[in-house]
Amino acid sequence: MQRFALFPEQCPDVPSALERLNRAKFEAVVVDFRLGSQAGAVLEGARQSASNEHAVVFTVSDSEVEAAEAFKAGSTFVLRRPLSADSIALSLKAAYGLIVRERRRYFRCPVEVPVAILRTAMQTVYGNTVNISEGGMSVTAAVPLGSGDQARLHFNLPGGDFQFVLESTVCWAKEGRLGLQFLSPHQTSRLQEWLSRRLEEAMPQSVRDKFSTLPQD
| pLDDT tens, residue order, the chain (217 aa) | 877 778 889 998 999 999 999 988 898 999 999 998 899 899 999 989 888 888 999 999 999 999 998 898 889 999 999 999 899 988 988 888 888 778 777 788 999 999 999 998 889 999 999 999 988 999 999 888 999 999 999 999 998 778 999 999 999 999 899 999 999 777 778 888 888 888 777 766 666 665 554 444 4
CA distance 61 to 102: 24
List the domains of the chain with CATH numbers.
Answer: 2-106 (3.40.50.2300), 109-194 (2.40.10.220)
Identify the three-state secondary structure at position 49. Answer: coil
CB burial of 74-96 (b: ≥16 within 10 Å; e: otherwise) equals ebbbbbeeeeeeeebeebbeebb
CA distance 29 to 48: 13
Contact by Cβ (8 Å): 135, 109: no
| 15 phi and psi angles, rounded to 5 deg | -55, -40
DSSP count for the chain of H helices, then E strands = 6, 10
| 170 phi and psi angles, rounded to 5 deg | -80, 125
CA distance 60 to 79: 5
Q: What is the pLDDT of residue 137?
A: 95
Q: What is the pLDDT of residue 214?
A: 45
For the chain, what percentages of helix, strand and coil (3-state, to nearest 5) are there? Answer: 40, 30, 30
Contacts of 124 (CB under 8 A, 6+ apart): 116, 117, 118
Q: What is the pLDDT of residue 207?
A: 62
Contacts of 180 (CB under 8 A, 6+ apart): 136, 137, 138, 139, 151, 153, 168, 169, 170, 171
